[in-house]
Structure 1
Amino acid sequence: MSSVVEPAIRWFKQERVIPLQLLLLLAAAVAALSARGAINPNLPTMIGVLAVGGFTCAEIGGIIPWIKRAGGPALTAAFLPSYAVSRHWLPDNIVDCVTKFTSSTQFIYLFITAIVVGSILRMPRRQLIAGMLKIFVPLIGASILALIVAALGGMAIHVPPSEALFMVAIPIMAGGVGEGVLPLSTGYAQLRHMNAGILIGQLLPVVLFGNLVSIVFAGALNSLGRRFPHLTGNGILEPEPADAAQPAALPPDPSHHDTLDLHAIIIVIFVCILLYMIGQICQSLTSFPGPVATLILTVLLKLTGVLPPHIDNAAGAVGRFFSTAVTYPLLFAVAVALTSWSAIVTALRPANLLIVILVVTTLVVSGFFLGRAMGLYPIEAALINACHSGSGGTGAVAILTASDRMELMSFAQIATRVGGVITVASAFFAARWFGIW
């Protein structure tokens, strides 16, 4: 009996982002509003609904042992709500309001901007420069290997190499839905003289399943890092060089990060918004992807040292807040509003399954060894490559959450955004040059 009671007591008493008692009260309030038909897509109500849904799914993923080891909380928050919608387990008024709120606010962009700005500004400049230069070797090398493996694997199961490459491998590495599936389907439709909507239905399930496999790998890499600590920097990409002597300046005050500098945090929030808006202006003027422009601008801010150190520290605090408090609610919202369970099921065609698993495995494993050869922590390098096979920004959030390394978001954005742009452009060039269609 004690074998059941003691773990239950430990689970009840464990520390949570939202204490269990408060989460239950929020759930009761959501249930009461839903029963009265009074759920509205306003900000306070949706914060409560998404918090209940996201953290409840995370709890479920953290309880089941075999799911927990595969990044369970992120896995369940990213996919269980989609299944619940398909089974009509969630009230229609909640689904409608969550869908309307998620689609109208697009708050994922605020989340990603805060994470990217926070992770870059709090990073030492030397580490930022070296990391961004070095990650392209495992990223590009692994991508080439993944394409070769996909073609060979396709031929082994009687799938034409062009089908395995252009309809499976390339969509996985194209950077998600908005930056990958949509431009690919539009370009393919022009080349093949067919409806782009049909192609979206073929490409989207592949990307979703690739993201699922990447999340499972992320959980496995996290477990590997706990077992072999020398393989991971726990969110730090590159070991500090042995000759990096202590700086002449006074060492940082250990309590500094725990001090709430409200004015600095306010400044950081508006810096994030400004950087995002400038990125959108760049996109409207040049068609250059806005998130990539925001990333580049943030890197330039860090490299030029325009912002004082206390603002950099506050940016780190803002990033940690979003990664801790917003991740699971965001995954829940995206799963309810944007992830079709029928599309996920469609991706389970055996041939697609095998090729997707081969592509993601090649990206992660070769990223591990190529990253190690470049002097990076191999687990972090493998995780960045896993993000390259995720479904864009949302996929990167789920993958890094499953691995408990949200600090890598800035590098993950390079893998998804820059890597995705290169992949899409290369796909169109190759399709035209070799006359695939």
Structure 2
Amino acid sequence: MTDSPTSVNLNKDEQKSAESDSKSSKGSGLWFKIKSLKIGFMPVGLWLVLAVGYVLLAITNVMPKNDMLISLGVMVVFSYLLEEIGNNIPILKSLGGKVLVVTFLPSFLVFKHWLPDSTVKTVSDFMNNNNFLMFFITLLVVGSIASMNRKTLLKATSRIIVVLLLCDVIGSLVGTGVGMALGLSAYKAYFFIVAPIMAGGVGEGAMPMAMGYAAILSGTTSGDIFGQILPAVMLGSLVAVVCAGAMRKLGEKKPELTGNGKLIDDESDKLESLKTKGGEVSIEKMLMAMVMAIAFYFLAVWLNYVIKTYLHFNLPSPIIVLIVLMAAKMLGYIPKDIAEGGAALNTFVVKGITPPLLFGVGVAQTDWNKLIEVFKSPASMVVILVTVLAIVATAFISAKVLGLYPVDTAIAVSCCSGQGGTGALAILAAGDRMELMPFAQVAVRLGGAMTVTVAIFIMGLVV
């Protein structure tokens, strides 16, 4: 039986209708995908509005000066975009790619003058005049320690100090030995490459080390010496970032080697974490933890002044915050409400502040010229690489012996080979272990102070 002309027309109409619905469905699916795209935590539409606002300010050269909102807005526009780029680069994304791109690409762009001068000035003024890095570190340290189990804190701190001592000794021996094998003198390898890597950064590591060296060596200035040792600090930090990314990847493949932000496995710590993170935390509790962070910083700044004035000794404010807060936590003086607020504060700081801060560090505090200086000497490059690897390997192995999680311990201790606070920020971000900032500060401050003191003492004996 043949179809009538009418039925044929109806079939064609139905087919056209189906094709139309299919196209509409595909179109809406594409639109849904576009709407669901995100730059960081922001829907792409919101990021575009922010980006358009920045472009209008930049091309008309009306970027306001000393405007905190403008500075933060610029940092947000670039940082989350660069983070997305780093997250999608094959191989590199497994080695802390997003941190490398967010921190070091801006430094290169500044070097090549490919960022508008107004943008560089706005970000640099904000980073250099507002102590934003200290704000970040203080909130993160307080949030981490306040929400930590006090027994676990005591166990982990005592053990990580042992790990740190081993890393300082073995890193120095291995780095100096490799330098000598490559034709460098032990003097050059240790004092100008290995020791600066473990000095705890620039301001509180390389700089006092240079001043100490200059006081011993006649005919040289601290500025000359500082210029010689700074490249090792910069490249050492870069290597540590890559190592932290590799450690994170190892932890993903072998979960038994990592505590995912914890150094030690403790049942009481698990119970406290469940209580602290199990439900919603009020804004009021988070604000209480933030106020406590500011209060501790007030106290630290005052104590730093008293110690410098009357004892003629510089104990940096971050280490005072760390010591006082650890003591308060271990003695049980931090209330439960603040502990719960500390966990929320820690999450907020990690997700909301880390990427913009890394971009600011790259623009204002990472000198590309100094970073590439060390590439002129292959022997120095090898010594730097081997020294950092020796530190990471020593931390990893000794952690297993001492009952710590190897991956997390290696990431935290490797911060001793970074650029102080900025290096610790980049290293922990690459390892996705920002919860370890208190222990990273122990590695940076305590490890750096030990290295500087020992290096200056030994130079005084051999020169």
Instruction: Report the TM-score range of the alignment, normalised by the length of the smaller protein.
Output: over 0.9
The aligned counterpart of 1:166 is: 191
Q: Decide whether the 8 Å contact of 2:106 with 2:362 is kept in 1.
A: yes
Q: CA RMSD in A?
A: 2.1
Q: Which amino acid aligns with 2:83?
A: A
Partners of 2:396 and 2:137 in 1: CA distance = 25
- TM-score, normalised to structure 2, is 0.88
The aligned counterpart of 1:29 is: 53
Residues 1:364 and 1:245: Cα distance change in structure 2 (over 3 Å): closer
Counterpart of 1:208 (choices 199, 223, 234) is: 234
Partners of 2:119 and 2:111 in 1: CA distance = 14
CA deviation string 1:198-250 (max 9, x = no partner): 22211111111000000000110111000000000000100126xx6997x9x
The aligned counterpart of 1:422 is: 450
SS at match of 1:175: coil
For residues 49-64 of structure 1, the aligned pairs below 5 Å read: 49-64=74-89
Runs of 4+ in 1 over 4 A off after TM superposition: 9-12, 244-247
The aligned counterpart of 2:62 is: 38
CA deviation string 1:7-64 (max 9, x = no partner): xx69963683233222222111111111111112311111100111211221111111
- Offset of residue 284 of structure 1: 1.6
The aligned counterpart of 1:337 is: 364
- Offset of residue 81 of structure 1: 0.2
Q: Which amino acid aligns with 1:268?
A: A
- Offset of residue 264 of structure 1: 2.1
Q: Decide whether the 8 Å contact of 2:392 with 2:413 is kept in 1.
A: yes
Partners of 1:370 and 1:314 in 2: CA distance = 33
Does residue 223 (structure 1) correspond to residue 249 (structure 2)? The answer is: yes
Residues 1:30 and 1:176: Cα distance change in structure 2 (over 3 Å): same
Q: Decide whether the 8 Å contact of 2:286 with 2:340 is kept in 1.
A: no
- Offset of residue 305 of structure 1: 2.0
- Offset of residue 114 of structure 1: 0.4
The aligned counterpart of 1:152 is: 177
- Offset of residue 147 of structure 1: 0.8
Partners of 1:245 and 1:316 in 2: CA distance = 13
Partners of 1:411 and 1:118 in 2: CA distance = 13
Q: Decide whether the 8 Å contact of 2:170 with 2:390 is kept in 1.
A: yes
The aligned counterpart of 1:16 is: 40
Unaligned runs of 5+ in 1: none
- Offset of residue 411 of structure 1: 0.5
In percent, how many aligned pairs have the same letter? 35
CA deviation string 1:173-214 (max 9, x = no partner): 111011101101111111113121122211111111000000
Counterpart of 1:252 (choices 258, 262, 275) is: 275
Partners of 1:33 and 1:413 in 2: CA distance = 38
SS at match of 2:42: coil
Aligned length: 423
Partners of 1:182 and 1:18 in 2: CA distance = 40
The aligned counterpart of 2:342 is: 315
Larger mean Cα displacement after TM superposition, 38-47 or 229-238: 38-47
- Offset of residue 148 of structure 1: 0.8
Q: Which amino acid aligns with 1:377?
A: Y
Q: Which amino acid aligns with 2:295?
A: L
Does residue 369 (structure 1) correspond to residue 397 (structure 2)? The answer is: yes
Partners of 1:245 and 1:79 in 2: CA distance = 37
Partners of 1:246 and 1:294 in 2: CA distance = 26
Partners of 2:179 and 2:258 in 1: CA distance = 33
CA deviation string 1:335-377 (max 9, x = no partner): 1112111111102121211000010000001110001100000
SS at match of 2:91: helix
SS at match of 2:95: coil
Unaligned runs of 5+ in 2: 1-28, 308-313
- Offset of residue 254 of structure 1: 6.1
For residues 322-361 of structure 1, the aligned pairs below 5 Å read: 322-348=349-375, 349-361=377-389
Residues 1:232 and 1:10: Cα distance change in structure 2 (over 3 Å): farther
Q: Which amino acid aligns with 1:66?
A: I
Partners of 1:271 and 1:10 in 2: CA distance = 42
